[in-house]
Chain A
Amino acid sequence: MTARPDPAASAATDTAAAETGRRVVRTMRRALRWSLPEILFWLVAFASIFLLPGQHLILTEIAILAVFALSIDLILGYAGIVSLGHAAMYGAGAYAAGLYAIHVTGEPLTGLVVGAAAGAVIAFATSFLLLRGGDLTRLMVTLGVAAVLFEIANKAYRITGGADGLQGIWMDPILGRFDFDLAGHTGYVYCLIVLFLLFLLARLVVNSPFGISLKAIRENPLRASAVGIPVNPRLVAIYTLAGAYAGVAGALFTHTQQFISLDALAFQKSADGLLVLIIGGTGYLYGGMIGALAYKVIQDVIANITPQYWLFWIGLLMVVFVLWGRDKPQRIFATLAARLRHRREGRE
């Protein structure tokens, strides 16, 4: 496309361009490759099914929390949307799955779909309020949406059980074969598989042209629109997808606990999800999972020392963590991954 008068020089640049082209393709495909820490992470996760049979109940909670935090990562880590009300979608998914199990069928897999749809619908319907205005407006809107749903669930006690919670949920076996047991073995395997599948999808989405355009919007919405990215539709799309993820998390909770309380829609839930993600770090998908694990371990340790006033310690943790610099754990992980990659590429 550029005018090049000298054919010899042109041929030289063409070879250079071809070489550069190969380098570009290599760079672009690096995101696709599974790094060693990634592979190890999932091997350990699945090994826990056999190695930690006594911990399956708490591991189930961790897996569900991880799905929830993964959902927040999609909007916060990639699209830069700060939300104080992600519990709205989680709770919608939980209640939808619960009501579906009670009134339609206890079959869990379609229940998951119902939960996802409920989360997606809530997210889609409210996403339009997020498009205009800055972070402050978004905080207020997300907080408000969750508060409204909480009030609705509280008032409509004939349907939701109100403050008493939704009871009488009975789940059928998964695929008609695997019954939910009291020790939570089935539940854990179920949640872990769903988490893994959702992670795979998220990994594809964030490395797709769509995902990269989200990062561009996060980095600079003005320039994003100036290179032809339709900013608002993209934000609506990712917010809806994240809503579906949160809905699935809620449905998983319903399926494994077979009971829902208003806590699923409470501010505390939104803040927990945010904190979990922040502990693990945003924008690389593993943050939610690592954060969920760390959060539950910390909760366990603190509960052993002082069972009351958990909220105080969680608050202190947030304050100290932010003052200390919340991106540090993520940086450690990234340096580790980069070092391993370098070593591997050095060998090649």
Chain B
Amino acid sequence: MVTLIFDGLAYGMLLFVLSCGLAVTLGLMNFINLAHGAFAMAGGYATVILTNQMGMPFLWTLPLAFIVAAVAGFVLERTLYVRMYARSDLDQVLFTIGLVFMAVSGMDWLMGSQQQILHLPSFLLGRVEVLGVNIGIYRAFLIAVCGVLAIVLQLLITRTRFGSRLRAAVDDQRVAHGVGIPVKTVFAVTFAVGSGLAGLGGALGAEILGLTPNFPLEFLIYFLIVVSVGGTSSMLGPLYASILLGLADVLGKYYIPTLGSFMIYAVLVIVLVVRPQGLFARAA
């Protein structure tokens, strides 16, 4: 049981890193980026190629996965996304689904449709017994890395100059612009960092989530649940939502194998009925 909770926690932390970028872009630019998973996939494939084919140490590939996805995000934001901010939700949805389709089939063309097997270094494999609890080393690694990331992000947003600019821009774009905050740059940097985090999440999750070209579509619903349950007003909401979702998914699949994959939807329905504005959203 404790092992399961530990696994669920690891899974949830991973989901947080994957989707926190989406929460920020949604909160900041009010932009529905359904292609968020494509950046995660890019990071995942970057790591797989670098480790498996080029023999680079796994840990070294993680920052590269971040950079690949962040650069892709930055370029796309400046060239394409920037044209879509003022458009209707429907336009944004169509546009980003189009990007997803291109990414999915482009990756299929590049790498083939089979699932990619990531060769983790041996020191991250295996399990250890800690205080009578059987713990997977890689799961522990995930919790540590993602936990640190979550703390760094929260500090970045609450304590730094960039963070306060970001929060100002989220609250009111026009006012932020008026007091001299370079809103466009804030947008671009935030988008790039959000995409980069997704890429890092994709790299970290390549082993346990299963990496195929279909990744952006398969996990789209998870991302959407995280941001709509967690809200976009702080980093903590999505964090709690991710952990809740991770636990529900892992425990559900273990205890009720036939219905396990429906567990997340059950959570979703309950949240929608009880608190339609999101479980952790700031009460307006």
- The chain A residues found within 8 Å of chain B, CB to CB, are 76, 82, 84, 129, 132-133, 135-137, 139-141, 143-144, 147-148, 151, 155, 267, 271, 274-275, 278, 308-312, 314-319, 321-323, 326
Contact = CB atoms under 8 A, between A and B. Distances in A.
B130 interface: no
Interface of chain A, main secondary structure = helix
A136 B26 CA distance: 10
Given A136-B32, A136-B227, A147-B221, A322 B94 contact: yes
A242 to B, nearest CB: 16
B91 A319 contact: no
B105 interface: yes
A137 to B, nearest CB: 6
* B: interface residue count bin: 35 or more
Contacts, number: 112
B95 interface: yes
Nearest to A315: B101
A311 B272 contact: no
Nearest to A85: B221
A151 B252 CA distance: 15
Given A143-B221, A155-B258, A76 B90 contact: yes
A40 B208 CA distance: 57
B32 A315 contact: no
Interface string B245-284: 0000000000000100110010011001100110000000
Contacts of A129: 269, 272-273
B262 A84 contact: no
A84 B97 CA distance: 10
Given A137-B228, A151-B261, A318 B272 contact: no
A139 B225 CA distance: 10
B95 A140 contact: no
Contacts of B156: none
Contacts of A132: 272, 276-277
26 contacts: A82-B89, A82-B90, A129-B269, A129-B273, A133-B228, A136-B228, A139-B34, A139-B224, A144-B268, A148-B265, A267-B217, A271-B97, A271-B101, A278-B94, A309-B108, A310-B105, A312-B102, A312-B105, A312-B106, A314-B101, A315-B105, A316-B98, A317-B98, A318-B98, A319-B98, A326-B91
A262 to B, nearest CB: 14
Contacts of A137: 228, 272, 276
A15 to B, nearest CB: 45
Interface in B120-177: none
Contacts of B225: 140, 144
Contacts of A318: 94-95, 97-98, 101
Contacts of A316: 98, 102
Nearest to B83: A323
Contacts of A326: 91, 94
Contacts of B32: 135-136, 139
